[in-house]
Structure 1
Amino acid sequence: MFKKRGFIFALCILALVACTKKEEVQEETKEQVVEPEKVEEVVEEEVVLPYFAPFTGIGSEVEMKQRPILVTMNNHPLARPQSGIAQADIVYEMMAEGSVTRFLALYQSEIPETIGPVRSARDYFVNIAKGLDAFYIAHGYSPDAKKMLDARVVDNINGMQYDGILFKRSKERKAPHNSYISKENIFVGAEKVGASMEINKIPPFSFYDSVEDVKIGNPATSVSIRYGSGTSFENQYTYFPDEGLYERTTAGVLTKDKESDELVKLSNVIFMEIPHKTIDNAGRQELTLTAGGKAYLFQAGIMKEIEWENIDGLLIPMENGVPAKLVKGKSWISIVPTHPGIEKMVNYLP
């Protein structure tokens, strides 16, 4: 009996000692826990570059002294996809004859190695080039445009004088959809005609510091326009918020560069309503570029009803009497005839 009680007593003592040691171990463990040091988050300051590209607003470490180059680019279905289209700072799209549109591709911040197909000039193309003080490139001309080019209204080279010399024909396509010019030959041509290639006129464009600053306007993630009754010149612009950019399609096909396969990505999509008049049986147009009028501006998934003005020969989007702020990057400007007008031709979805 006493032995049994002694045995039980011994077990209790051992259990008590074990618990005490466990508590001591836990206490030691608690004492050994080291709280991690709070590391302050280092916020890198945004580098402010000293210069910027005048037509895109994008910062640069060097001064952008390149004179703008304006190329009449073919937009016939047989001319697509075009070469050098994705590198243009601005593309102006407008009717050449009937419902067929052409592009005026403006290059300043970067110049691609190959541009084309190059197509013929119109008098209002020449006037736009003059307003930009651009070195103008075309292959062919309307009668009115020829008079202006012969009078050297703008510094220019034309494929009619330099076909096979500065302008090369592609074997992949048939004329008149196969005339191309290289970056090298642009500068060779400028030297031939004694044209300076240093910028002399800075456009009065205004830019937001960030795409996040664009707040006021109607939500619009998709916008479309159709020139004529068919789908060959039906264009759609779709906004992708992750990139803050628009992609473009024509007749349901993404607009991309033939040489690099790079998609055209735009920060600003602009529509300007301008008076048009058909002047001959070929359907050639006369545009009143000095009129000013209605305009739509699409940027950052937002649509704004604004106006446009001709300021010293430049077609400038305006808001409340001052140049409308653009998102930094590339822009596409579509010229819309007053009849049927911008409200009927341009459609957008929130």
Structure 2
Amino acid sequence: MLAVMKLRMIAAVSAAALTLTACSSSSDDTKKADAPDATASPAAPVVPTSPLTGLEMRKGRPGNPVFVVKIENTSAGAPQYGLDKADLVLEELVEGGLTRLAAFFYSSIPSKVGHVRSLRTSDIGIAGPVGGQLVASGGAAGAYNKVEKGGITVFSEDAGSPGFSSDPAKYRPYNRLINLKTVAKEAKGSKVKRSYLPFTKAGAAPSAATGKPAQAATVRFSNSTSTSWKLDGEQWVRTNGHAAPGKDFKADTMIVVFARVGDAGYTDPAGNPVPETVFKGEGEAMVFHGGQVDTVTWKKPSLNKALTFTASDGSDYTIDPGKVFIELVPKGAGSVTLG
């Protein structure tokens, strides 16, 4: 009987020892699992991209808003200043068959841009997608009110905004210059919610080129105004532009968007009806990139939405990151000639 009791005691002690060992082992495993892996690589920081170029912004997005400066586009306003510092440029129709530029500045804020001219109601759809803050010499009362009601912040010389000066070599209304650094001090920063264009994402394959070879093009806005382009290396450049020598905008991609043009509802001082390009809806577009031009369909659901494109086979068409020039051409009245 005594021997049996001793055997039971030994078994109990052994079981307890095994339990303690198991608990110790489990605790050690938990500690090892919770311990950081010294060999693991930390997550790479997310690098934001520009909403205007699709390029990485290694220093982060700037605190300033996107400024959209209205620039004279005739010989009377030559030379144009600051275009080489712009992120994106758009050419739009104004009265008399002439055109004006809307130059977008975000990553670089020049101290000399011009020569600055007045706004148009077309600018609501031009500046809207990125919450662009418009810089203009002034504008007709009706146009000015519509632009502000469209949610666009305006810096206008007529309204007393800072940063404007006169070019002594020119005469009014072709002599107005703007110091964007001065404007930036007064402007409230705004978060840019979307990219202006559907840029090809890093690591993704670019859209397949399905069009035809192109080395030069003439974009006609009216009987009196055409913009001529040529491929210079890998970039598209204007051959009849009005920029200071060596200071013109060089486009990695040039896009022609055919859009409906209506009547803005008022006339200029000379009595000419003022056109309004309706930058929403959908239609045909031509994308020039490298030595290739692709014909695609553009779509913009509302004035403040971004542009998207669809290829001829129905697939999404993206734009390679880089600087882009958009020709906003009248549907029906405008045209493009290659070569």
TM-score tier (shorter)? 0.7 to 0.9
Name 1:238's counterpart in structure 2.
230
> By how many angstroms is 1:174 displaced?
0.5
Match of 1:62 in 2: 59
Deviations 1:214-251 (A, max 9, x none): 64331111111133334xx321111134xx1111122x
Question: 3-state SS of the aligned residue for 2:281?
Answer: coil
Superposition pairs for residues 14-33 of structure 1, below 5 Å? none
Does structure 2 conserve the Cα–Cα contact (< 8 Å) formed by 1:73 and 1:103?
yes
Task: Say which structure, 1 or 2, has more relative contact order (CA 8 Å, 6+ apart).
Answer: 2
Structure 1: gaps (5+ residues): 1-47, 191-195
**How far is the alpha carbon of 1:51 from its aligned partner?**
3.1
Contact 2:112 2:179 in 1 (8 A): yes
Q: Counterpart of 1:139?
A: 137
Give the alignment's TM-score, normalised by structure 2: 0.75
Contact 1:116 1:180 in 2 (8 A): yes
Q: Secondary structure at the match of 1:147?
A: helix
- The separation in 1 between residues aligned to 2:285 and 2:96, in whole angstroms, is 22
**1:223 maps to what in 2?**
217
Residues 1:178 and 2:175 are matched in the alignment = yes
**2 CA distance for matches of 1:264 and 1:200?**
23
TM-score normalised by the chain length of structure 1: 0.73
Counterpart in 1 of 2:28?
none
1:107 aligns with 2:105: yes
Q: What is the SS of the residue equivalent to 1:123?
A: coil
Aligned counterpart in structure 2 of residue 271 of structure 1, from 253, 256, 266: 256
- 1:265-294 superposed Cα distances (whole Å, 9 cap, x missing partner): 111111111111345441310222222111
Contact 2:220 2:329 in 1 (8 A): no
Asked if 1 retains the 8 angstrom alpha-carbon contact of 2:89 and 2:326, the reply is yes
Matched, 1:305 2:295: yes
Shift of 1:200: 3.0
- Residues 170-193 of structure 1: CA deviation (Å, up to 9, x unaligned): 111101011111122212332xxx
**Partners in 2 of 1:143 and 1:128 — Cα distance?**
19
Contact 2:164 2:178 in 1 (8 A): yes
- Asked if residue 158 in structure 1 is aligned to residue 156 in structure 2, the reply is yes
Name the counterpart of 1:334: 327
Partners of 1:114 and 1:145 lie apart in 2 by: 26
**CA deviation after TM superposition for structure 1 residue 84, in Å:** 0.7
Superposition deviation, residue 126 in structure 1: 2.8
SS in 2 for 1:72: strand
Aligned residues: 285
Contact 2:199/2:321 (<8 A) preserved: no
Q: Does the CA contact (< 8 Å) of 1:205 and 1:323 recur in 2?
A: no
Letter in 2 for 1:275: R
Q: 1:126 maps to which residue?
A: 124
Distance 1:288 1:322 in 2: 25
Identity, % of aligned positions:
20
Q: State the alpha-carbon separation in 2 of the partners of residues 247 and 69 from structure 1.
A: 23
- Equivalent residue letter for 2:65: R
Secondary structure at the aligned position of 1:235 is classed as strand
Paired amino acid for 2:255: I
Structure of larger gyration radius: 1
State the distance in 1 between where 2:248 and 2:111 align. Answer: 17
Greater alpha carbon shift after TM alignment, 181-190 vs 329-338: 181-190
Task: Tell me how far apart the structure 2 counterparts of residues 142 and 70 of structure 1 sit (CA, whole Å).
Answer: 18
Cα deviation for residue 338 of structure 1 reads 1.6
Aligned to 2:278: 288
Distance of 2:126 and 2:107 partners within structure 1: 19
Which amino acid is the alignment partner of residue 207 of structure 1? T
Matches of 2:110 and 2:244 in 1, distance apart?
A: 10
1:185-224 equivalent positions in 2, closer than 5 A: 185-190=182-187, 196-203=188-195, 205-207=198-200, 215-224=209-218
What do the CA deviations read for 1:100-158 (whole angstroms, capped 9, x no partner)?
A: 10111111122222111111111121332233211111111133322125547322211
Q: Could you tell me how far apart the structure 2 residues matched to 1:189 and 1:50 are?
A: 28
Mapped partners of 1:206, 1:284: distance in 2? 33
Q: Match for residue 239 of structure 2?
A: 249
- Tell me how far apart the structure 1 counterparts of residues 239 and 46 of structure 2 sit (CA, whole Å): 33
* Residue in structure 2 matched with residue 12 of structure 1 by the alignment: none
Residue number in structure 2 paired with 1:53: 50
Cα pair 1:132 1:201 within 8 Å, conserved: yes
Structure 1 residues 103 and 271: CA distance shift in structure 2, 3 A: same
Aligned partner of 1:290: which letter?
K
Q: Which secondary structure does the structure 2 equivalent of 1:161 belong to? A: coil
Change (3 A) 1:291 1:348: same
Corresponding residue for 2:80? 82
